[in-house]
Chain A
Amino acid sequence: MSVHGWASGTARHRPGVPWPLGAAGVLLLGYLIVPFCFGVASLDGSVLLSAVRGAAAAGAIWTSVLTATISTLIVVVLGVPLGYVLARTEFVGKGLVTAFVYLPLVIPPLVGGVLLLVTFGPYTPLGGWLGMRGLQITDALPGIVLSQTFVAAPYLIVASRVAFEAIEPSFEQVSYTLGKSPLVTFFRVSLPLAWPGILAGVPLAWLRALGEFGATIMVAYHPSTLPVYLFVQFGARGLREALPVAVVLVAIGAAVVALVQGVGARAQRRAMP
């Protein structure tokens, strides 16, 4: 009997997904989708345009996009090296370092805001020192960036660590024997090989920064980011005015996901001609 015949024979008996698993999946998926449907259904078209204009007027869209981008850049420049260190070295206290990397994911962002305030607040030594040199942290763009960096950093550190760990050390070893120092090897071998994996973490970090609310509202009520603006609108004018701002956030998120998937698919096609 040919291998082909054997393979096609099993195709007929391919085990399906057991129905309880399928049912559980469908239930949760429904819960994830239904709120979006209601959100779109209850949207008042006339309010949408004015809300977008309002958010733009308040500078919230610009503030959010700018700070999220700055935060993501900071997180990439500092997080990729940390991911490399965690992937390639063993040291005493590595478990503790790893725990701190995951900390922003497991503590409520409001707590993160409190911690940032006791560190950078205007009446703390560090905040006071920076304030005297004209760098205001709270209620200013730097405060927003710090809040976003705090919550977005883990996504990129973990993505880079996983990406670097997936590289066979033999690539780096061969590079060393070719006379390349560890720094040259990092930039010419490790980083290019890990780049696709690191890149996958970038939109996650950017979107996390964009959606950041808890720490931001503690540290910087002004200038308002989109989530803070949303909260303010909800408090002052109610759900009808808040909903369009929420739609703006969803739209940005959807656009980024679509962009990433498109770019990723093209990169994959190029990698496998």
Chain B
Amino acid sequence: MLSVTLGARRGGFHLEVAFATPHQRVVLFGPSGAGKTMTLQCLAGLHAPERGRIAVGETVLYDDRRRVNLPPWRRRVGLVLQSYTLLPHLSVGENVAYGLAPVWRGRERVRIETLLAAVGLGGYADRRPAQLSGGQRQRVSLAQALASDPRLLLLDEPFSAVDAPVRERLRRDLLGLLDAFDVPLVFVTHDFGEAYLLGQTIVIMAAGRVVQVGTPAEVAAHPRTVLVAQLVGASNILTGRVLGRSGNTVVVEAGSLRVRALGDAVDDGLRATLCLRPADVRLVVPADGRPAATVTRVLPRDGTTSVLLAIGAMTIEAVVRGPAPAAGTVVGVEIPDEAARIVADDSAIE
């Protein structure tokens, strides 16, 4: 569906991106400064890459070798940004009409009402943007983008400035909208929950590079590097000595912990880095032969409790449901087999 190879530069920042996906919905996900927005701007034609190729289905938008570089007004890509971009001097209906593709000439009124109804704002055509809430403005912006019959929809953190409950509704409604209009999506976010919900393919970016590409379930379950592990919530990163391996598991000794981790990519045969979700760390009654930890901090969350544990010189986090031990308590720690994963240590590239 979408195939992208890009080398681009802005000031001292260097972008090097390559991914291809058969899916309709792609999410560019990563920390701020990863180059997600710049990638989107290259897709829209708003930033000129130095080399590469961008194709949506059979349509080539950019190809430096064939000297193809469509200007943004010929690309037919819809763009919705985080900041509100509706034209304040036009009504809601006029804003949508502004985006309307020429094929709708003569049928403008009906098309505008259809688009507004599709984003849940039927009957709002005569309002002014200033009279709308942030969420409503972004809905109109989506209608405006869809009005141009885009071959690709580019959304750059469109819901970030909107209140949380409204944001959740907007995400769900966006999925319905994409089905109804059958338009492919590239969505930029730094929120993994949003990426998981909206992406069929997640492209994880950091420091101008793609670090991993996969389905949401894949990247969540198999983070390949420390950076990805942290981004997808496997935030305990442990380094230890390899004691042995069998099949696709490796036994690693990290301090007093002995962990049977999934994976075969071992740093140098002797040492290995692994990641572990806080929810997978089990707190048990201390007993002989079990690694013991001291609770250093207890952080209440919504529905769970985050417990920071000192195990020798290491600190790891456990997330527990129900009653949590108090700070200062000594507890036993259990890591279920294959809960941890071996990852490549790329933490230096940040």
Chain A residues with a Cβ under 8 A of chain B = 168, 170-171, 173-182, 188-189, 192-193, 271-273
* Segment from B12-20, B24-32, B79-87, B165-173 that makes contact with A: B79-87
Q: A171-B87, A188-B98 are in contact. Are A178 and B148 (CB under 8 A)?
A: yes
Is the pair B89, A173 in contact by a Cβ cutoff of 8 Å? no
B75 at the interface (CB under 8 A from A): yes
Judged by DSSP, the binding face of B is mixed
Q: Which residues of B contact A178 (CB under 8 A)?
A: 73, 78, 98-99, 144-145, 147-148
| 3 closest cross-chain pairs (CB), A and B | A176-B72, A177-B79, A178-B99
Chain B residues with a Cβ under 8 A of chain A = 44-46, 71-81, 83, 85, 87-89, 98-99, 101, 128, 130-131, 141, 144-145, 147-148, 150, 154
Please measure, in the bound complex, the distance between the C-alpha atom of A179 and the C-alpha atom of B71, giving whole angstroms.
9
Is the pair B73, A174 in contact by a Cβ cutoff of 8 Å? no
Is the pair A174, B85 in contact by a Cβ cutoff of 8 Å? yes
Is the pair A193, B89 in contact by a Cβ cutoff of 8 Å? yes
Is the pair A177, B72 in contact by a Cβ cutoff of 8 Å? yes
Q: List 5 A-B contacts (CB under 8 A).
A: A168-B85, A176-B45, A176-B71, A177-B46, A182-B73
Of A173, A181, A272, which is in contact with the most chain B CB atoms at under 10 Å from its CB? A173
Q: Which residues of B contact A174 (CB under 8 A)?
A: 79-81, 85, 141, 144
Is the pair A177, B148 in contact by a Cβ cutoff of 8 Å? yes
Is the pair B87, A177 in contact by a Cβ cutoff of 8 Å? no
Is the pair A177, B71 in contact by a Cβ cutoff of 8 Å? no
Contact of B76 (CB < 8 Å), options: A179, A189, A192, A271:
A179
Is the pair A177, B85 in contact by a Cβ cutoff of 8 Å? no
Q: Which residues of A contact B145 (CB under 8 A)?
A: 177-178
Closest to B150 in A: A177
Q: A177-B72, A178-B98 are in contact. Are A189 and B87 (CB under 8 A)?
A: yes
Contact of B101 (CB < 8 Å), options: A175, A179, A192, A272:
A179
Contact of A173 (CB < 8 Å), options: B72, B75, B98, B150:
B72
Q: Which residues of A contact B147 (CB under 8 A)?
A: 178
Is the pair B81, A170 in contact by a Cβ cutoff of 8 Å? yes
Contact of A177 (CB < 8 Å), options: B75, B83, B88, B131:
B75
Please measure, in the bound complex, the distance between the C-alpha atom of A271 and the C-alpha atom of B80, giving whole angstroms.
24
Q: Which residues of A contact B46 (CB under 8 A)?
A: 173, 176-177
A190 to chain B, nearest CB (A): 11
Q: A174-B79, A176-B46 are in contact. Are A181 and B73 (CB under 8 A)?
A: yes
